[in-house]
Amino acid sequence: MKRTGLINGQLTRALAGLRHTDLFAVSDSGLPVPGGVEVIDLGVVYGIPDFLTVLRPVLAEVTVEAAWASRDVADVNPDVHRALADLVGPQLLAHEDFKERLAQCRFVVRTGDATPYANVLLRAGVAW
């Protein structure tokens, strides 16, 4: 058994399989994911686990070289916007553009978060 870090096997496997420039996302419970994109659904009930509770340990496991979020997060969900700015400094996109990019993701990690626009698209970097 693992002693530290993430213990969800599906999530750990997906993160370990990332290569440089691969895209993946961490999302709230309501983000529509295009068919064909793997969904790692961690939601238990609305609100559990929340977006940031999942995002922080994911970021501790991988190198991220770029990030994007919906422009709407700044006005509609300022707490998540501030946290994203501190954690990954995402470029803000129109929400429709954000959703279109999801089709390029290797996988989406769905949380139980029930707040609007608690989503981030991440591009894997290299650790050296």
Known catalytic residues?
A: 20
Residues 103, 25, 81, 53: is their CA dihedral positive or negative? Answer: positive
Say whether 8 counts as a known binding-site residue. no
d(CA 91, CA 1): 37
SS3 25: strand
Q: Is the peptide bond before 90 cis (omega within 30 degrees of 0)?
A: no
d(CA 111, CA 41): 6
Say whether 81 counts as a known binding-site residue. no
Is there a contact between 106 and 10 (Cβ–Cβ < 8 Å)?
A: no
Say whether 46 counts as a known binding-site residue. no
Residue 19's φ and ψ, nearest 5 degrees, are: -125, 165
**Residues flagged as binding site:** 28, 95, 117-119
**Residues flagged as binding site for substrate:** 28, 95, 117-119
